[in-house]
């Protein structure tokens, strides 16, 4: 466990943090970014286990975006390591694109006139109450 102690405590610093305010601030941003970015795996894993099929919940993309922007700001303003900057410089593009596509898909959902359940686009029947759905959201004859 010496290696672990050395990893946490090194050169009189805990996780690379000394007493300097800006060091504490930016290390905090960097660790928060790591925590947010890493937490997305548990969100995706839990959603997949729950549905028993591979799914990527919208929260996964929000955590990806927030975590990568925190890590990018840490890399740009504190770490200044171009390898780390490049690693997070462009990842926000597919995250935002997936959030846009998800938002459009949600907007096309049909509200069931029978029970109000939000049903996926192109649904013919409500998954909750079985009411026949139309594109306009009115009750079918």
The DSSP bridge partners found for residue 9 are 14
Shortest reach from residue 122's CB to Zn ion, in Å:
16
Identify which of residues 57 and 114 has a Cβ nearer to Zn ion in the complex. 114
What gap in Å lies between CA 125 and CA 127, rounded to an integer? 6
Shortest reach from residue 115's CB to Zn ion, in Å:
3
What gap in Å lies between CA 89 and CA 80, rounded to an integer? 12
Shortest reach from residue 52's CB to Zn ion, in Å:
24
Return residues touching Zn ion (CB under 5 A).
Answer: 112, 114-115, 117, 126, 128-129, 131
Determine the 3-state secondary structure of 63 from DSSP: helix
Identify which of residues 100 and 129 has a Cβ nearer to Zn ion in the complex. 129
């Amino acid at each position: 466990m010496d290696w672990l102690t050395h990893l946490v405590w090194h050169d009189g610093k805990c996780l690379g943090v000394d007493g300097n305010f800006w060091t504490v601030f930016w290390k905090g941003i960097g660790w928060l970014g790591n925590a947010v970015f890493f937490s997305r795996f548990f969100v995706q894993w839990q959603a997949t286990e729950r549905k028993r099929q591979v799914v990527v919940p919208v929260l996964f993309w929000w955590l990806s975006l927030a975590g990568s922007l925190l890590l990018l700001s840490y890399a740009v303003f504190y770490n200044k390591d171009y390898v780390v900057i490049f690693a997070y410089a462009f990842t926000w593009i597919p995250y935002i694109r997936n959030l846009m596509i998800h938002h459009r898909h949600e907007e096309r959902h049909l509200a069931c006139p029978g029970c109000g359940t939000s049903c996926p686009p192109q649904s013919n029947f409500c998954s909750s109450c079985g009411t026949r759905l139309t594109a306009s959201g009115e009750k079918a004859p």
